């Protein structure tokens, strides 16, 4: 199969890019691949909203830039921060013209929420289901565009490069080029090749590497793992953001329900089991300090008191206001028999967002020719050591636009795709025991949660690496000998991502932003990105 523009991922990043190139080139074919249903994405679960400056009377670009830099703890690329903040409003206007609705007040002005690390109210939202609304609008626009095809249940296994033509490709090979992908069609169970002169990775996050996460099941870091295997550059994977307030549900691993930071923006207070509002002991910004600080404070309270969660007290928010602003959270609490006028919500930190990822430049270009990346799988330089809340939907839109602008030039340059061999499954047999995969996944999540969580140490990282080595070896053997399944491919990708997180964490001999190592509790004077 051939397509002009190949897009992997149907979240905000992939769909925004697909729409733009398809409208620019109505005679060219755009193909979006997604491994699950078309809307099953991290995007769909976004609650708080999009941070953007849209009221210059009360806010300014400089303030949004400053808040992003402060949250990023010295590691943001300031030029990238400026361009995202400045181009953001135009991208938001654009998605509104495509049909996305944001809440407005009685005067018709955007209603603006506030979240941790923001010095102003600037988060546009659609109640507490902003991502669902944006995903809906994008999918409706995509469905009306005749030259876009969205192929669901298509699991991308690997990028095709010179390696598949029989050449030795290493990290120092110049001009590694992407010619498309091998895809496991989950309906036919066949591996097909899909060739394209331009490929965009928009594969989202990797929260599932941890035992408890706010991310849905699709978030397995596939794009990052594929680029690493293809010898592309990966950056700053140690900066995994833990959201401070995921709903605590005992015994429930996997995806957990988020209690949006916007609830703290409306006045909710964190309390420990003694009922103490403890945040003032950790940071003068209290509940609205940047996320790394709040998550670490909660972690420290839990360890100090020997408990598995703290509480979020929402009683200061009038019930009617809560219900109209956060209808989904309200309903979830109601199902759990929590009366928010006097009951507190049990919450604990959960893996939420990957700040690092596939290294890109200001146009979304990766280190592999003809391969772009944007959205959560990319490391653009915006987030530094800790993402500012609600900056990621914004980043995805800004960079999808930039990838589109660059692709317009690239597609017009002469290029011939080589002859690419079909996938070779010779010698593989049906997997006999799924337990080999499910148990390894549990072990991986256990290791990452226990040794590579909010607080790390040299010993924990070394232990994690030894265990990952074993899991890697066993899983590679399985991969070589069995017919591929999405579960096996995801496990393999997650082990690679776990390895990248641990490796970057080992290289960072300091504590900064989301990475806290008890053996190096201070920040180093040398500020550097870790690139693998």
Task: Confirm or reject binding of residue 147 to ligand FAD (CB under 6 A).
Answer: no
Among 6, 7, 8, 398, binds ligand FAD (CB under 6 A): 8
Residues numbered 209 to 248 that lie near ligand FAD (CB under 6 A) are 214-215, 218, 222
Q: Which is nearer to ligand FAD, 111 or 307 (CB)?
A: 111
Task: Quote the CA–CA distance of 149 and 164 in Å, as a whole number.
Answer: 26
- Contact between residue 190 and residue 425 where contact means Cβ atoms under 8 Å apart: no
CB of 64 to ligand SIN, least distance (A): 14
| 3-class secondary-structure state, position 158 | strand
Nearer to ligand SIN, 228 or 353 (CB): 353
**What is the bridge-based pairing of β-strands 5-8 and 50-51?**
unpaired
| CA 502 – CA 435 distance, rounded (Å) | 25
Tokens read off for 38: 């078309």
Among 177, 390, 445, 511, binds ligand SIN (CB under 6 A): 390
Query: How many helices and strands in the chain, by DSSP H and E?
Result: 14, 22
The CA–CA distances, whole Å, from 182 to 4, 151, 179, 417 equal 16, 14, 10, 15
**Choosing among ligand SIN, ligand FAD, none, which partner's interface includes residue 498 (Cβ < 5 to 8 Å by kind)?**
none
- The interface region with ligand FAD, picked from 335-343, 389-397, 420-428, 437-445 by CB under 6 A, is 389-397
Q: Is the Cβ–Cβ distance between 391 and 80 less than 8 Å?
A: no
Q: Taking CA 514 as the corner, what is the angle to CA 262 and CA 209, rounded to the nearest 5 degrees? A: 90
Contact code string over 301-340 relative to ligand SIN, x by CB under 6 A:
----------------------------------------
Please tell me whether residue 389 binds ligand SIN under the rule CB under 6 A. yes
Q: Is 80 in the site for ligand SIN (CB under 6 A)?
A: no
Distances (CA, A) of 381 to 78, 395, 415, 422, 509: 8, 10, 30, 37, 20
Of the pair 132, 456, the CB lying nearest ligand FAD is at: 132
CB distance 410 to 430 below 8 Å = no
Measured CA to CA, the distance from residue 82 to residue 167 in angstroms comes to 41
Which of residues 153 and 463 has its CB atom nearest to ligand FAD in the complex?
153
Using CB under 6 A, which residues numbered 41 to 60 contact ligand SIN? Answer: 47-48
Q: How many residues bind ligand SIN (CB under 6 A)?
A: 9
Contacts with 335 (C-beta within 8 Å, 6 or more apart), sequence order: none
Catalytic: 466? no
Q: What distance in Å separates the CA atoms of residue 71 and residue 60, rounded to the nearest whole number?
A: 17
Partnered with residue 355 across adjacent β-strands are: none
With beta carbons less than 8 A apart as the criterion, state whether 82 and 88 touch. no
Chosen from ligand SIN, ligand FAD, none, partner binding at 131 (C-beta under 5 to 8 Å by type): ligand FAD
Q: What is the gyration radius of the CA atoms in the chain, in angstroms?
A: 22
| Alpha helices per DSSP H over 385-485 | 392-410, 435-451, 458-481
Restricted to residues 35-64, the positions that interact with ligand FAD (CB under 6 A) are 35-36, 41-43, 45-49
Binding flag, residue 376, ligand FAD (CB under 6 A): yes
By CB under 6 A, which span of 55-63, 150-158, 438-446, 498-506 interacts with ligand FAD? 150-158
Taking CB under 6 A as the binding criterion, the range among 61-69, 77-85, 255-263, 426-434 that sits at the site for ligand SIN is: 255-263
How buried is residue 500: exposed, middle or buried, by Cβ count under 10 Å (0-12/13-18/19+)?
Answer: buried
DSSP three-state, residue 428:
coil
Answer for which of 203, 260, 407, 493 binds ligand SIN (CB under 6 A) is: 260
CB 16 → ligand FAD: shortest distance, Å?
8
Q: Give residue number: closest CB to ligand SIN.
A: 48
In sequence order, the 6+-apart residues with CB closer than 8 A to the CB of 430 are 482, 483
Site string for ligand FAD, 116-135 (x = CB under 6 A): --------------xx----
Reported as half-sphere exposure (CB side, CA atoms, 13 A), residue 419 has a value of 0
Does the protein bind ligand SIN through residue 38 (CB under 6 A)?
no
| Bridge partners for 394 per DSSP | none
- Counting Cβ atoms within 10 Å, is residue 75 exposed (0-12), middle (13-18) or buried (19+)? buried
Window 347-386: contact mask with ligand SIN (x via CB under 6 A): ------x---------------------------------
Q: By CB under 6 A, is residue 204 in contact with ligand FAD? A: yes
The residue annotated as part of the active site, out of 132, 291, 460, 508, is: 291
Query: Which residues in 112-171 contact ligand SIN (CB under 6 A)?
Result: none
Alpha carbons 212 and 256: distance in angstroms, whole number? 7
CB of 480 to ligand FAD, least distance (A): 19
Find the binding residues for ligand FAD in span 350-369 (CB under 6 A).
353
Neighbours of 230 (CB within 10 A): 22
59 vs 261, beta carbon nearer ligand SIN: 261
When CB distances are held under 5 to 8 angstroms depending on the partner's kind, the choice from ligand SIN, ligand FAD, none that residue 444 binds is none
Residue 373 in contact with ligand FAD, rule: CB under 6 A: no
Which residues lie near ligand FAD (CB under 6 A)? 8-14, 33-36, 41-43, 45-49, 130-131, 154-156, 202-205, 214-215, 218, 222, 258, 353, 375-376, 390-393, 396
Which residues lie near ligand SIN (CB under 6 A)? 47-48, 260-262, 353, 389-390, 392
Active-site residue list: 291
């Amino acid at each position: 199969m051939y397509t002009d523009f190949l897009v992997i991922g149907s979240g905000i990043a992939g769909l925004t890019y697909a729409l733009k190139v398809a409208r620019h080139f109505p005679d060219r074919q755009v193909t979006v691949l997604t491994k699950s249903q078309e809307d099953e994405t991290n995007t769909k679960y976004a609650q708080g909203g999009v941070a953007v400056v849209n009221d210059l009377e009360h806010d300014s670009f400089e303030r949004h830039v400053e808040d992003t830099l402060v949250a990023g703890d010295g590691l943001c690329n300031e030029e990238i921060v400026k361009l995202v903040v400045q181009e953001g409003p135009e991208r938001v206007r654009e998605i509104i013209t495509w049909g996305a609705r944001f809440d407005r007040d009685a005067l018709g002005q955007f209603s603006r929420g506030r979240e941790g690390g923001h010095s102003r109210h600037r988060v546009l939202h659609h109640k507490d289901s902003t991502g669902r609304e944006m995903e809906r609008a994008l999918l409706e626009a995509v469905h009306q565009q005749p030259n876009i095809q969205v192929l669901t249940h298509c699991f991308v296994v690997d990028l095709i490069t010179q390696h598949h033509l029989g050449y030795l490709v290493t990290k120092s090979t110049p001009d590694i080029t992407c010619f498309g992908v091998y895809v496991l069609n989950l309906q036919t169970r066949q591996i097909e090749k899909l060739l394209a002169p331009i490929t965009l990775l928009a594969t989202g996050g990797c929260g599932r590497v941890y035992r408890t996460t706010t991310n849905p099941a699709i978030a397995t870091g596939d794009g990052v793992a594929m680029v690493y295997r293809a010898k592309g550059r990966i950056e700053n994977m140690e900066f995994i953001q833990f959201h401070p307030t995921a709903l605590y549900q005992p015994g429930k691993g996997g995806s957990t329900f988020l209690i949006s930071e916007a609830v703290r923006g409306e006045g909710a207070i964190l309390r420990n089991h003694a009922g103490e509002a403890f945040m003032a002991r950790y940071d003068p910004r209290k509940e609205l300090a940047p996320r790394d600080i709040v998550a670490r404070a909660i972690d420290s309270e839990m360890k100090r008191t020997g408990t598995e969660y703290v509480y979020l007290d929402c009683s200061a928010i009038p019930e009617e206001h809560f219900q109209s602003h956060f209808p989904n959270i309200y309903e979830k609490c109601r199902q759990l028999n929590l009366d928010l006028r006097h009951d507190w919500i049990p919450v604990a930190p959960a893996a939420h967002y990957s700040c690092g990822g596939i290294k890109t430049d200001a146009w979304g270009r990766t280190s592999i020719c003809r391969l772009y990346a944007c959205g959560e799988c990319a490391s653009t330089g915006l987030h530094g050591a800790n993402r500012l809340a609600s900056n990621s939907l914004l980043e995805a839109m800004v960079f999808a636009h930039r990838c589109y602008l660059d692709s317009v030039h690239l597609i017009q340059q002469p290029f011939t795709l080589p002859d690419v061999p079909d996938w070779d499954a010779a010698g593989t047999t049906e997997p006999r025991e799924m337990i080999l995969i499910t148990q390894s996944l549990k072990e991986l999540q256990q290791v990452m949660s226990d040794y590579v969580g909010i607080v790390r140490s040299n010993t924990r990282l070394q232990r994690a690496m030894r265990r990952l080595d074993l899991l890697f070896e066993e899983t590679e053997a399985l991969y070589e000998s069995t017919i591929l399944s999405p579960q096996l491919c995801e496990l393999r990708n997650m082990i690679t991502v776990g390895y990248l997180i641990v490796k970057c964490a080992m290289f960072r001999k300091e504590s900064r932003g989301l990475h806290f190592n008890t053996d190096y509790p201070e920040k180093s004077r040398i500020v550097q990105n870790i690139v693998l």
